[in-house]
Amino acid sequence: MITTDICIVGAGPVGLFAVFEAGLLKMRCHLVDALPQIGGQLSEIYPQKPIYDIPGYPTINAQELVDNLLKQIEPFNPGFTLGERVEKLERQEDKSFIVTTSENTQIRCKAVVIAGGLGCFEPRKPAVERLEEFEGKGVAYMVRNPELFRDKEIVLAGGGDSALDWTIFLSDVAKRVTLVHRGETFRGAPDSAEKVAHLAESGKINLILKSNITKINGNGHLNEVTIAGADNAEYNINADYLIPLFGLSPKLGPIADWSLNVEKSAIQVNTFDYSTNIEGIYAIGDINTYPGKLKLILCGFHEAALMCQSAFKYVFPDQRLSFKYTTVNGVNAF
Ligand SMILES: Cc1cc2nc3c(=O)[nH]c(=O)nc-3n(C[C@H](O)[C@H](O)[C@H](O)COP(=O)(O)OP(=O)(O)OC[C@H]3O[C@@H](n4cnc5c(N)ncnc54)[C@H](O)[C@@H]3O)c2cc1C
């Protein structure tokens, strides 16, 4: 079991900055995110988009902001559990919590901070019969561990950045990669689309355009995918894995079952300290709601700072909190 002072649900920008604010007050943090990478919406939805409203940065690319946040919290050495969804929150008799993830990782903590943004991103699934039967047995919606696909026959489907990026990456790992896309052109970065076209021309991958996956087949594990082209003629290809990458849509997920006061898919908080209706549980960033709420990164940062002042008293009830600026010796002053 992992033990920490604060378990942060969500490793988006607001969860990351909360580690910094908590670290200044000597509270240790462990972050859990359902996505395989750090950065929340910034890394998942718009990594290359410039952001213009971060104080002190006239412009900063979304992924660069995530990288900077990670650098800023490095001195506090937070723990990360990625690719696992927080499913359960249980309060213990001593008022601590045990947080349990979808993979049964358990984290014992004194306070819980929900920085879950828009909730869990659920994969958009293609309308193919028997899809659910093969989930975890050949059908995957994310590439968590590329080694799983080493020397296997892989079919990827989709036309965005994820489909292009993973096609390029897996072309060096898998035995054979086939990319199926219903369109003729890609939505992803032109540079990646060009690389995929080169890989297809050189015979390193199979690129099948203007086509859809219509059926899947197997015996206990996927072994065949049926593809239909524009003329609706169907044909089968061997496949150990099918990876549909049609994007992710956000859902509140298990957070809705934790007896928190929820209004329109957001957690109600007290703006004094961003506490929820359950003592020891806080909610910051896009996941919370209060009169005047703005879903902006800078608002989440402010919420993280105020939340930590209150969480300190909950985590260390016997200690006095003295407010300091970070200027004296940087973070080492704390
Ligand atoms: C296209 C676009 C452009 C934007 N541009 C700007 C901009 O220019 N400036 C600005 O300030 N804001 C912008 N925003 C808004 C900004 O992205 C959000 O305000 C910000 O991402 C909120 O950060 P967060 O950390 O609260 O949540 P998120 O970034 O959503 O991160 C939350 C994380 O929590 C995880 N999670 C949720 N539930 C669970 C669970 N049960 N278990 C484990 N993990 C969980 C999710 O997987 C996710 O990674 C933009 C948003 C979009 C979509």
Give the tens place of pLDDT for each residue, 95-137: 999 999 999 999 999 999 999 998 887 789 999 999 999 999 9
Residues in the chain: 334
Mean pLDDT across the chain, nearest whole number?
Answer: 93
Mean pLDDT within 248-266: 85
Fold of 125-246: FAD/NAD(P)-binding domain (3.50.50)
How many other C-beta atoms can be found within 10 angstroms of the C-beta atom of residue 133? 14
Fold of 2-121+249-315: FAD/NAD(P)-binding domain (3.50.50)
pLDDT greater than 80 at residue 260: yes
pLDDT of res. 115: 98
The predicted-structure confidence for 145-172, as pLDDT tens digits, reads as follows 789 999 999 999 999 988 998 999 999 9
Q: Are strands 50-51 and 153-157 parallel, antiparallel or unpaired?
A: unpaired
d(CA 62, CA 68) in angstroms, rounded, equals 10
d(CA 245, CA 159) in angstroms, rounded, equals 8
Mean pLDDT within 198-204: 97
Phi-psi region of 278 (alpha: psi -120 to 50; beta: other; left: phi over 0): beta
pLDDT confidence band for 332 (50 / 70 / 90):
low
CA atoms within a 13 Å half-sphere pointing along the CA-CB vector of 81: 22
Rounded distance from Cα 120 to ligand 1 centre (Å): 10
pLDDT of res. 245: 93
pLDDT of res. 264: 86
Rounded distance from Cα 55 to ligand 1 centre (Å): 18
Q: Which residues line ligand 1 (CB under 6 A)?
A: 9-15, 32-35, 40-42, 45-46, 49, 51, 53, 85-86, 115-121, 253-255, 285-286, 295-298, 300
- Could you tell me the residue ranges of all domains in the chain? 2-121+249-315, 125-246
Rounded distance from Cα 232 to ligand 1 centre (Å): 40
d(CA 28, CA 20) in angstroms, rounded, equals 10
Rounded distance from Cα 240 to ligand 1 centre (Å): 34
Q: Which of 41, 43, 121 to mutate to test the pocket of ligand 1 (most atoms within 8 A of CB)?
A: 41
DSSP-assigned letter for residue 9 = E
pTM, two decimal places: 0.76
pLDDT of res. 328: 53
- Look at 15-24, 182-191, 302-311 and tell me which has the smallest mean pLDDT: 182-191
Question: Do 2-121+249-315 and 125-246 show the same overall fold?
Answer: yes
Report which ligand 1 atom has the smallest distance to the Cα of 101. 42
Residue whose CA is closest, atom 27 of ligand 1? Answer: 117
Rounded distance from Cα 149 to ligand 1 centre (Å): 29
Mean pLDDT within 193-218: 96
